[in-house]
Structure 1
Amino acid sequence: MKILWKGLGTSLMMVGITIGQTLWGGTWGVYPAAAAQPLQTMSDFAAHPAKESILLGLQKGYIWKYPDGRFYPDKQIVQSQFVASLVAIRGVKETAPVPELPVGHWAKGTYERAQKAGILADVKIDPNKLLTKEEAAQLVFNAWKPYRGVKMKGYTHTGALITWGWMDPAPAGQPKFREDLPVSRGDAAKILQFLYDDKLQIELGEKLWREFHDSLNVKNGILSGKIPSADKNYYINVQFFMKNNQIVGFENGQNFTVNLSNIKTAGFIVMDRGDSTKSISYSYPNLPNLNWEKTTQKFS
Structure 2
Amino acid sequence: MKLIGKTVWTSLLLVGIAVVQNGGSESEVLRLHVAEAAAKSAPASDYANHPAKDAILHGLQKGYLWKYPDGKFHPEQTVTQSQFVASLVAIRQVSEKESVPALAAGHWAKDIYERAQKAGILANVPVNPNKLLTKEEAALLVFNAWKPFRGEKMKGYTNTGALVTWGWMEPAPKGQAKFREDLPVTRGDAAKILRYLWQDKWQLELGTKWRNEFEQSLKILNGKVIGKVPKGDTQFTIRVSFVTSDDGRRGFLNGESFQVEVNSVKTTFVLSIRNNLDSTDAGIVYYDIPTLKREIKNKQFSL
Counterpart pick for 2:104 among 94, 99, 102: 102
Say if 1:134 and 1:158, in contact at 8 Å, map to a contact too: yes
Give the TM-score normalised by the residue count of structure 1.
Answer: 0.93
Counterpart pick for 2:79 among 62, 77, 87: 77
Say if 1:242 and 1:262, in contact at 8 Å, map to a contact too: yes
In structure 2, the CA distance between the partners of 1:206 and 1:32, relative to structure 1 (3 Å rule), is farther
Counterpart pick for 1:278 among 281, 289, 293: 281
Mind listing any 5+ residue stretches in structure 1 that lack a counterpart? 1-9
CA drift of 1:293 comes to 0.6
- Residue identity in the other structure for 1:293: E
Say if 1:149 and 1:299, in contact at 8 Å, map to a contact too: yes
CA drift of 1:176 comes to 0.2
- CA deviation string 1:141-183 (max 9, x = no partner): 0000000011000000000000000000000110000000000
Counterpart pick for 1:19 among 10, 34, 39: 10
Say if 2:206 and 2:282, in contact at 8 Å, map to a contact too: no
- Residue identity in the other structure for 1:117: A
Say if 2:203 and 2:282, in contact at 8 Å, map to a contact too: yes
Give the distance between the partners of 1:272 and 1:232, measured in 2 at CA. Answer: 9
Say if 1:229 and 1:253, in contact at 8 Å, map to a contact too: yes
Give the distance between the partners of 2:278 and 2:60, measured in 1 at CA. Answer: 23
- Residue identity in the other structure for 1:273: N
- Residue identity in the other structure for 1:77: V
Give the distance between the partners of 1:249 and 1:232, measured in 2 at CA. Answer: 18
CA drift of 1:276 comes to 1.2
Percent identity over paired residues: 54
Which residue of the partner structure matches residue 148 of structure 1? 150
Aligned Cα root-mean-square deviation (Å): 1.4
Give the distance between the partners of 1:70 and 1:171, measured in 2 at CA. Answer: 26
CA drift of 1:33 comes to 9.2
Give the distance between the partners of 1:167 and 1:86, measured in 2 at CA. Answer: 15
Give the distance between the partners of 1:181 and 1:36, measured in 2 at CA. Answer: 33
Which residue of the partner structure matches residue 94 of structure 2? 92
Residue 134 (structure 2) pairs with residue 135 (structure 1): no
Which residue of the partner structure matches residue 266 of structure 1? 269
In structure 2, the CA distance between the partners of 1:145 and 1:36, relative to structure 1 (3 Å rule), is farther
CA drift of 1:40 comes to 4.8
Give the distance between the partners of 1:78 and 1:34, measured in 2 at CA. Answer: 19
Say if 2:281 and 2:298, in contact at 8 Å, map to a contact too: no
Which residue of the partner structure matches residue 295 of structure 1? 297
Count how many residue pairs are aligned between Structure 1 and Structure 2. 290
Say if 2:98 and 2:118, in contact at 8 Å, map to a contact too: yes
Deviates more, 1:40-49 or 1:179-188: 40-49
- Residue identity in the other structure for 2:127: I
Mind listing any 5+ residue stretches in structure 2 that lack a counterpart? 20-25
- CA deviation string 1:84-106 (max 9, x = no partner): 00000000000000011011110
Say if 1:13 and 1:33, in contact at 8 Å, map to a contact too: no
In structure 2, the CA distance between the partners of 1:34 and 1:253, relative to structure 1 (3 Å rule), is farther
Which residue of the partner structure matches residue 126 of structure 1? 128
Say if 2:135 and 2:184, in contact at 8 Å, map to a contact too: yes
Give the distance between the partners of 1:55 and 1:261, measured in 2 at CA. Answer: 53
Residue 256 (structure 2) pairs with residue 254 (structure 1): yes
- CA deviation string 1:113-142 (max 9, x = no partner): 000000000000000000000000000000
Give the distance between the partners of 1:217 and 1:147, measured in 2 at CA. Answer: 27
Give the distance between the partners of 1:139 and 1:39, measured in 2 at CA. Answer: 30
Which residue of the partner structure matches residue 225 of structure 2? 223
Give the distance between the partners of 1:21 and 1:179, measured in 2 at CA. Answer: 31
CA drift of 1:239 comes to 0.3
In structure 2, the CA distance between the partners of 1:153 and 1:91, relative to structure 1 (3 Å rule), is same
